[in-house]
Structure 1
Amino acid sequence: MDKKSQLNRIKDDFINSQKVLQAIGDETRQSILLVLMATDCQTGLRVGEITEQTHLSRPAVSHHLKILQEAGVILRRKEGTMNFYFINIRSKIGLLKNLVTDIDKFLEDFY
């Protein structure tokens, strides 16, 4: 693949990864993700449990969970009136892998 094609591919990768990059770029959302990663992916956590572990307000946690969910980084499981949030193991974070791989391939010629 020529350099121009590689750059176009990287540009597409950036565009496709934009929502995920914005979602995980925030320190507060990173702390929420770390809390969720420390739990069983199948079970998940409720907003109150995340609030306790992050020391954020309930509305703040809900706001950040919504952004992460819209970006495809986390999922929500509903049981009656309870919502459980967990990391989406098939998430769009894989797009970041593609981005890094394509950049790495592009830079190989310089090393």
Structure 2
Amino acid sequence: MANFQQSETALTESATLINIFAEKIRRQIIIALGNSDNGLNVTDITALVNISRPAVSHHLRLMREAGVIDMRSNGVEHIYFLTLAAPLQQLQATFATLTADNATLSQS
């Protein structure tokens, strides 16, 4: 029987990202930011996703901690933008590990 220890580790490391992408409001924020040329502020995002400003701030904090977005200051305003390169690489590595472990299982 195959040992899926590497897959377990990879999935554990990617769980936060998977949860970020699984939540509907966060997906809406990602799409909104992806459609924006220069990023969006909290007021813009709040209007687009139609939830309270504190709820938007909560989602933005989680997304920043996961590395999916970042922000820059423009005076007193914070502008949020996507930073997907590293998170997508992590997910690709996780799926590659799962694929390799599954191939080992299939050959057994």
TM-score by length of 2: 0.84
C-alpha contact 1:44 1:84 (8 A) present in aligned 2: yes
1:14 to 11, 15, 21: 11
Q: How does 1:1-111 map to 2 (within 5 A)?
A: 3-4=2-3, 7-40=4-37, 43-108=38-103, 110=106
Cα distance in 2 for residues equivalent to 1:92 and 1:78: 23
Specify every segment of 5 or more residues in structure 1 that has no aligned partner in the other structure, as ranges: none
Specify every segment of 5 or more residues in structure 2 that has no aligned partner in the other structure, as ranges: none
Query: Please, what is the CA RMSD of the aligned residues?
Result: 2.0
C-alpha contact 1:74 1:88 (8 A) present in aligned 2: yes
Aligned length: 106
- Amino acid in the other structure paired with 1:31: Q
C-alpha contact 2:67 2:84 (8 A) present in aligned 1: no
Using the aligned pairs only, state the percent identity.
28
CA displacement 1:73-101 (0-9 Å, x = unmatched): 11111122110111113332321111112
Residue 36 of structure 1 deviates from its aligned partner by: 1.0
CA displacement 1:14-54 (0-9 Å, x = unmatched): 121122122222111111111111112xx211011111211
Residue 8 of structure 1 deviates from its aligned partner by: 2.0
